[in-house]
Amino acid sequence: MKTILLTGAGGGVGTFMRAELKGRYKLRLSDRSPLAECGPDEEFVQADLTDMDATRKAVAGVDGIIHLGGYSVEADWDTIHTANFIGTYNLYEAARLEGAKRVIFASSNHAVGFHERTNTIDHTTAPRPDSRYGLSKAFGESLSSLYADKYGVESMCIRIGNVGTEPIDVRRMSIWLSPRDLAQLVCIGLDHPDIKYEIVYGMSDNARSWWDNSNATRLGYKPQDKSEDFAEQILATKTSDTGNLIGDLKQGGDFVTFEAVDDPFKPGLK
């Protein structure tokens, strides 16, 4: 089996991936804090990705990397810069130095969150980040492109919607991603022989989606789960997402409206 480094292994998505990938790869688990225990075909390497020496030790000898590590919501600049900019750079530089040839980068829908929900966007759509967090994911996509073109570190960037066992509100019916569908995308990213640099959307079979995921389909992705199976129970109690007009028009939801002025083009607004 391939040996795969899973960063952010102690987080919610990392926990899902450990279960879904069990028996398929030898997993080297990494996080800033120790994990309770490791299962068969698992080992743990404690590493803070802002520490290059520790990151290189975690990466050394692996065949590929699933990069989930970092700060997963909006925060102040210092927090996002340290965890998501410096940490992601160190991860890719360590991959180059240690000879790891394939990285799966957990990007986010928030890299394109300022696009309108009425627009169907695909993998060629330019980023419109809705937050410092979204900006860090757009940076990670560009960094992945640089390392693929210049250094031969192959990457698949997954613009993840929302990972969970089921969608929990109206917005998430459009962006939901089940753990087993994410695992399928990750395996394609790790094992497909012809990937150099790709962007795909992390979504299940969602009838209400704003995304054209034909690039993932081209690579062999066939999602198994449908958000529409949960529509009746969600719509029975919820009709909108944020209750804010702008937030409900944009793909990023309340990430768009957090700290935002009411109208950035309003005359006389400083």
Choose the CATH number for 3-257 among 3.40.50.720, 3.40.50.1370, 3.40.50.1390, 3.40.50.261.
3.40.50.720
> Among 30-44, 45-59, 133-147, which is the least confidently predicted range?
30-44
Which of 5-14, 47-56, 232-241, 261-270 is least confident? 261-270
Confidence of residue 263 (pLDDT cuts 50, 70, 90): low
Q: How confident is the model at residue 269 (pLDDT cuts 50, 70, 90)?
A: very low
Taking alpha carbons only, the member of 225, 224, 209, 220 closest to residue 187 is: 220
Active site residues: 133
Lookup: tokens for 141: 């996509």
Domain boundaries, the chain: 3-257
- Residue 270, pLDDT above cutoff 90: no
Task: Name all contacts of 163-166 with Cβ < 8 Å and 24+ positions apart.
Answer: 163/12, 163/13, 163/16, 163/202, 166/230
pLDDT digits (tens, 9 = 90+) for 237-257: 876 677 778 888 999 999 999
Contacts of 5 (CB under 8 A, 6+ apart): 28, 30, 58, 59, 62, 64, 65, 66, 100
Single pTM value for the model = 0.95
- Tell whether the model's pLDDT for residue 69 goes beyond 90: yes
pLDDT at 1: 86
Residue written as tokens 């829908």? 109
Please say if the pLDDT value at position 194 is more than 60.
yes
